[in-house]
């Protein structure tokens, strides 16, 4: 009777394993995309802080980086001075936060693929490359007039800001997930292999 119950339990586990694997595959992206969006906002704050400090050294207003982002909504009125910098910055802040979250979510999705999610070094390289890609896209759009230029318009300053103060910062923040998920993933994998082999689990 005991043997029959054990066979039934193992059979039920076998039938449910497929759904569990699919559920794990779906939740893996959720564990990286959503934190990627949150870390993107945090890295965006590091980025815009650098832009504000650089703006002061360039002789511009401290809030001018956010004001320039507000120009996406308020259009040419920001450049012409039709709106006070405080109002333009207030409008630009949510636009900037949404953009940072979108970039972070995109990088989080990429980080869930291949060796990037298993190595902090690979994640750091990928984040830095992601920052360079953002700089190239922003530079091209600003050159075409599709995006406003930041006050510290030096290409070197913008390269440093995008590459290190956003891309590298984002990778460092997401690197915490590798430290927290690594041991948990190894433990779950070991428990799964033990269950598949039918080996008894150690009692506590």
pLDDT tens, 31-68? 789 999 999 999 999 999 999 999 898 888 899 888 88
- What is the pLDDT, as a whole number, of residue 160? 94
86-109 pLDDT per residue, tens: 888 899 999 999 999 999 999 999
What pLDDT, on the 0 to 100 scale, is given for residue 182? 54
Structure tokens at 41: 């906002």
Question: Residues of 191-201 as b/e, b for ≥16 C-beta within 10 angstroms?
Answer: eeeeeeeeeee
Quick check: 187 pLDDT over 70?
Answer: no
The CA distance from 41 to 105, in Å, is 10
pLDDT at 32 (0 to 100): 85
Query: Cα 3 to the chain's mean position, in Å?
Result: 50
pLDDT of 31 reads 76
Cα dihedral 50/52/55/56 (nearest 10): -110
Query: pLDDT tens digits for 65-77?
Result: 888 887 778 776 5
Per-residue pLDDT at 179 exceeds 90: no
pLDDT band at 9 (very low <50, low <70, confident <90, very high): very low
pLDDT tens string 110-123: 888 777 877 889 99
Helix axes 169-197, 85-111, angle to 10 degrees: 30
**pLDDT 10s digits, 141-157:** 877 776 766 766 688 88
């Amino acid at each position: 009777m005991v043997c029959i119950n054990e066979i039934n339990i193992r059979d039920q586990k076998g039938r449910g394993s497929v759904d569990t694997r699919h559920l794990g595959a779906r939740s893996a992206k959720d564990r990286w995309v959503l934190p990627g969006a949150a870390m993107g906002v945090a890295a965006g704050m590091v980025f815009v802080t650098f832009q504000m400090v650089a703006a002061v050294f360039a002789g511009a207003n401290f809030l001018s980086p956010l004001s320039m982002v507000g120009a996406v909504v308020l259009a040419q009125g920001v450049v012409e001075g039709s709106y006070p910098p405080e109002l333009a910055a207030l409008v630009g802040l949510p636009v900037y936060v949404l953009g940072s979250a979108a970039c972070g979510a995109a990088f989080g999705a990429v980080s869930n693929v291949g060796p990037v999610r298993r190595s902090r070094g690979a994640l750091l390289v990928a984040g830095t490359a992601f920052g360079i890609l953002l700089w190239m896209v922003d530079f091209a759009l600003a050159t075409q007039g599709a995006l406003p230029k930041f006050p510290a318009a030096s290409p070197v300053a913008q390269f440093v800001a995008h590459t290190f103060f956003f891309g590298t910062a984002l990778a460092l923040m997401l690197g915490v997930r590798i430290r927290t998920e690594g041991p948990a993933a190894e433990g779950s994998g070991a428990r799964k292999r033990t269950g598949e082999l039918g080996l008894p689990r150690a009692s506590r």
